[in-house]
Amino acid sequence: MTAEHYTRYEKARIVGARALQISMGAPVLIDDPSMNSLYLAKKEFELGVIPITVKRNNAN
């Protein structure tokens, strides 16, 4: 899925979870000198390199 297919809640959850991973020492998946984990997580999300997916229950 690309960034435009996520709801704002899914995006917040993905970016927040990835920022936590980075702050706990996970390797950064982009080449950027910034040390701000939230900034790095947002950039990774925009580039589509975050290895996190969303499972949806499509029952309406």
User: Given a cut of 80, is residue 48 above it in pLDDT?
Assistant: yes
Is residue 20 within 8 Å of residue 12, measured between CB atoms?
Answer: no
Average pLDDT over residues 32-53: 93
What pLDDT was estimated at residue 11? Answer: 95
Q: Rounded distance, CA 45 to CA 41, Å? A: 6
What pLDDT was estimated at residue 1? Answer: 54
Looking up residue 13, the CATH number of its domain turns out to be 3.90.940.10
Give the count of domains, the chain. 1
Is residue 19 within 8 Å of residue 41, measured between CB atoms?
Answer: yes
**Tokens 């991973």 label which residue?**
21
**pLDDT tens digits, 7-38:** 999 999 999 999 999 999 999 999 999 999 99
pTM of the full structure = 0.84
Other beta carbons within 10 angstroms of residue 41's beta carbon come to 24
Asked if the structure places residue 58 within a domain, the reply is no
Asked if the structure places residue 57 within a domain, the reply is no
Domain that holds residue 18: 3-47
